[in-house]
Amino acid sequence: MASFPPRVNEKEIGKLLLNLVDHTEVVRDLTFAPDGSLILVSASRDKTLRVWDLKDDGNMMKVLRGHQNWVYSCAFSPDSSMLCSVGASKAVFLWNMDKYTMIRKLEGHHHDVVACDFSPDGALLATASYDTRVYIWDPHDGDILMEFGHLFPPPTPIFAGGANDRWVRSVSFSHDGLHIASLADDKMVRFWRIDEDYPVQVAPLSNGLCCAFSTDGSVLAAGTHDGSVYFWATPRQVPSLQHLCRMSIRRVMPTQEVQELPVPSKLLEFLSYRI
């Protein structure tokens, strides 16, 4: 249900426009489709994701069901065709947003998955979990391509589900497609390159809860449990021409189409982020 004023003028700026009230529990996350369609997805503790059309007076278009527990976070792919959702379970859910159907569940984490983010070209998906790990997936075939651990040596699956002061709370992709940031309970924010096993830079941060890069990738903002927001200048590197070309190709070609290209195998591995 929604109420929507007939028209917005300058005097109404800052006033409430919509009140979407169909969820039955706390709403944990919101994400707009990047294509400018004003399609909004909300994630809730009521175990559902709801799809709203703000161009149609906030009409609820679809309810996505599949989670067996709270939904913590959701993210659209850059072309708006795919949605990732994660929550109080070990699975990562991928949804087809043209048909509003589940594509697949990605299995690999050993504890609740609490955050997710797509790379700018849509070829990679980062997920953060209480199992002390950030995984980088190929969302098109479900393969885990990289693992960034926050506890060394990594805990066994039995202990990965316990309280170990290394729970990862948030993950964010930089817009250069080369770096990600993660926040963990060990009072650290880490900056990673997608092709290196260890952080390229770390900084102290207590009670970190969420993080996001600025549009140009030069600044990382992080919010904390105590109500503060901190900012860092991020590691900067001029992307190689090869990487820029790879991103351009991957924006329009999923992994399956890339693998059918008549090019050398090493180039296919590079385009598929396998090297």
Q: What is the pLDDT of residue 88?
A: 94
Q: What is the pLDDT of residue 3?
A: 47
For residue 130, give Cα distances in angstroms to 156, 231, 268.
Answer: 13, 24, 33
Q: What is the pLDDT of residue 17?
A: 83
pLDDT in tens, 162-206: 656 789 999 999 999 999 999 999 999 999 999 998 999 999 999
Q: What is the pLDDT of residue 10?
A: 67
Q: What is the pLDDT of residue 238?
A: 84
Q: What is the pLDDT of residue 5?
A: 47
Q: Which fold has domain 27-152+161-238?
A: Methylamine Dehydrogenase; Chain H (2.130.10)
Residues in the chain, pLDDT under 50: 3, 5
What's the CA gap between 196 and 204, in Å, rounded? 21
Q: What is the pLDDT of residue 159?
A: 63
Q: What is the pLDDT of residue 2?
A: 53
| Contact yes or no for 239/120 (Cβ under 8 A) | no
What's the CA gap between 49 and 62, in Å, rounded? 8
Domain ranges of the chain: 27-152+161-238, 240-274
Beta strands 168-173 and 144-149: pairing type? unpaired
